[in-house]
Amino acid sequence: MTGNCAVLQQQTPLQVLKEVFGYSDFRDEQEAIINQLLAGHDAMVLMPTGGGKSLCFQIPSLIRLGTGIVLSPLIALMQDQVAALKIQGVAVEFLNSSLSFPEVQDIEARLLRGELDMLYVAPERLCQERMLSLLHQIDIALFAIDEAHCVSQWGHDFRPEYIQLSLLHEQFPDVPRIALTATADKSTRNEIIQRLDLVNARLFISSFDRPNIRYRITQKNNARKQLLNFITTEHASDAGIVYCLSRKKVDETARWLNDQGIEALPYHAGLSAQVRKQHQDQFIRGDGVVIVATVAFGMGIDKPDVRYVAHLDLPKSLESYYQETGRAGRDGLPADAWMVYGLQDVIMLRQMLAGSEAEEHIKRLEQRKLEAMLGFCEVISCRRRSLLGYFGEQQEDDCGNCDNCLEPVESWEGTTEARKALSCVFRTGQRFGVSYLIDVLRGKRTSRIEQFLHDQVSTFSIGQELSEVQWRSVFRQLIARGLVAVDMEGFGSLRLTEESRPVLRGEEQIYFRKDIIHKTERKKSGNRKRNREYDTSGANQPLWDALRARRTELAQEQGVPAYIIFHDATLMEMMEYHPKTLHEFAQINGVGASKLEKYADDFLEVLNSF
C-alpha cells in the first residue's frame, strides 16, 4: 500500500475497516465520528480506553486526501501504533527524539513526496518552525490530538507543550481536527475545548463503562500478602500493573514479588531512561510480566492483555483511578481493578493536600476530587454506578460485576459511636492521632495517657464495645466524610471540622460501612459480564499454547510485541471457529488483507494440525 492509496480514497469507512483492520462492524459512535472528519468538521471525542479511539482518526486519514498528522505524547505510544499500522499495510512513520538525523531527513522527504498516509509527531516537535514549515508544504488530511486531557492544568497528566496546540487552528484553519481522551470530567473537558479552540467542534461522548473490568476494593491488612494472594490465586502467569505512590515502595514491592517467584519490574522517574525503556519493553513484549510503578507509567500503553491493575495506595482522584484501571482488559476480555485501602491512605492524602503550595482554587478542586475518590471507596452500593455517575453517566441497574454487587456490604447505624469518637477528639485537645484516641476510648492505661491525664476525661473507656480494628474503620470513615481533619505538620493528629457539629448535637444520623475483616479473596468464578471468552484450559490448552507459541515466534522474528501480530481475542476466535481455508480465516475479527497475506498460512498450519 502506498501513501493515500487511490483505491482506499474511493472506499467507504466500513470497507476500509474490513480491508485494512479486519473488522466487520463499527462500535458505538465510531462511524459518526469518522463521517464528521470526512466532511471536514472538527470533533471532540471522549471514549473509554479500549473503545477504539484510534480508528476514529486512522480511517479518515486513509480516505481523505493528504497525510493524517497525529499528535501523541509518548514515544512508546507512537512506536506501538506505528508498528501495528505497518503490519496492516499502512504507510506510516513517526518523528521523535529516538531517531537519528538521517532517519529524520528520510521521513521528511517521504512526507514531502506525499508517500505517507499518517505521521505521528510529538507536540514539542510539531511546534518547531522546521516542522510547521514542512506541514505548510503538504496536503494534510487531518490533525488528531491524542491524550487531549494533557492540555488541562487540572488534569492528571498535564503537559505544558499541549497548550501551544491552538496554533493548529490559527495556521491551518481548513484542516479538520479531532481531540481524543479517555478521561475528562466536565471542567477538564471545557478547558480542552477552550485551549484547543474547539468551540465549534461536535462533542462525542461514548459510555465510560468498561463492563469487562471487575472493580474491587479490599480493606488494607498486610497489603503485600493480600497482593500476593490476589496474584497467585487469580492471575498466575498473567500480565499486570501494580501502582504505588512512592519510588521507594515501588522498588521494595518489585523486589519482594521477585522473591516470591513472580517476575516483576520497577518503573519510576528515579530510574534512568535506559532502564525505564528496557523494563517497559520487557513488559510489553513479554507474557506474564508484572510492572510495579508510580503513576509515571502507563499513559499510551497499548498492551491489550493486561489482566489486572492493582493499587497498593489510594489514587488522588477518580480520573486517575479510571485512567489507570483502564489499562486492564483493553482486548475486551475479563480483567480486574483491585485495590487495598485503609486509614493511613486517607490520612496521608489529606496531609499532602493540606500542605500543598498550589493556588487556593486548585486546592479546592483537588479537595473535591479527593472527596469523590474517598466516597467511591466507602460506597456500599454498586461501584460501577458510582464511578459512571461521577462522569455524568447514569446507569439504571447494578452491574453485577463489582465487589459490592457480588458480596453486598452491610451498613450499621453508628451515630452514638461517631459522637463518642468526635467527643474524644475534642476532650483530648484535638492534637492526637487515631491510635492514641482509640486507646483512650477503649480505656487503655498507657504511660502517655496518664501523663496527659486523659484517663480522667469523660470519653475514657466509653468505647469498649468496639474492637481496635472497628474503631479504626470508624475513624477512617469519619475522615473520609470530612467530619474530622488531619493536621498538615505530618503528626497525624485530628481536629474537628464544622461538618461535625450536627453529629455532635445529635441532629444528624451516621451510617457506617461494615468492613469485612480478613475477607477471603474470590476464585476465578462468578457472574462476570464479558465479551466472548473462549475456554483455553483443559482439552483446549494444547491448541491455545501452540497458537500463542507461533505468535511469539513471528513477533520475535519481526521485533514487535506479540499482540501486534494478533490479540488474544483473535486467537480465541480462531479456536472457536477453527477456520480451515484462507476464506474462512479472513472472516476472523482482526484479520485484514495485509495480515491475511502475512500470517494465514502460519496459523492455519497450527489449526489444521489439531
CATH number at residue 329: 3.40.50.300
pLDDT at position 487 is 79
CA–CA gap between residue 210 and residue 379 (Å, rounded): 19
Answer for the pair 44, 201: CB distance below 8 angstroms, yes or no.
yes
Q: Are residues 153 and 68 in the same domain?
A: yes
**Is there a single domain that holds both residue 265 and residue 190?**
no
pLDDT attached to residue 518: 46
Sign of CA dihedral 209, 210, 214, 215: negative
Amino acid at 92: V
pLDDT of residue 1: 42
Instruction: Assess whether 186 and 40 both reside in one domain.
Output: yes
User: Residues 115, 66: contact at Cβ < 8 Å?
Assistant: no
d(CA 557, CA 544): 20
User: Is residue 142 a part of any domain in this protein?
Assistant: yes
In this predicted model, what pLDDT tens digit does every residue of 29-67 receive, in sequence order? 999 999 999 999 999 999 987 888 999 999 999 999 999
Residue 348 covered by a domain: no
Contact between residue 437 and residue 428 where contact means Cβ atoms under 8 Å apart: yes
Check residue 591 and give left, alpha or beta (phi > 0: left; psi -120 to 50: alpha): beta
- Judge if 41 and 132 occupy the same domain: yes
Residues 147 and 218 in one domain: no
* ∠ Cα 192 193 199 (to 5°): 170
CATH number at residue 589: 1.10.150.80
Segment-wise mean pLDDT, segments of 10 residues, the chain, 610 residues:
56 94 93 97 91 94 96 83 93 93 96 96 90 96 91 64 86 96 79 89 92 95 95 94 94 96 94 90 89 76 90 91 91 95 87 82 83 91 93 90 94 95 96 94 95 96 94 92 79 89 94 72 42 68 92 92 91 93 93 94 93
* The pLDDT of residue 298: 64
- Domain range enclosing 488: 411-513
Structure confidence at residue 287 (pLDDT): 83
- Answer yes or no: do 160 and 65 share one domain: yes
Strands 511-513 and 411-413: antiparallel
Phi, psi at residue 249, to the nearest 5°? Answer: -70, -35
Same domain membership, residue 484 and residue 427? yes
- Tell me: do 165 and 251 sit in the same domain: no
Dist CA 140 CA 175 (whole Å): 7
On whether residue 346 sits in a domain, the answer given is: no
Same domain, 547 and 604: yes
Question: Which of 366, 340, 365, 341 has the alpha carbon at shortest distance from 352?
Answer: 366
Could you tell me if residue 523 is inside a domain? Answer: no
User: Alpha helices, DSSP H only, in 492-565?
Assistant: 501-504, 541-558, 562-565
Same domain, 417 and 396: no
Q: What is the pTM of this model?
A: 0.81
pLDDT at 296: 64
Q: What is the count of structural domains for the chain?
A: 4
- pLDDT score, position 508: 93
For residue 4, the SS3 value is: coil
Final residue of a structural domain among 154, 176, 205: 205
What are the phi and psi torsion angles at 157 (to 5°)? -130, 45
Do 394 and 503 sit in the same domain of this protein? no
Directed axis angle between helix 468-480 and helix 343-354, to 10°? Answer: 30
Quick check: helix, strand or coil at residue 307? strand
263 plus 314 within the same structural domain: yes
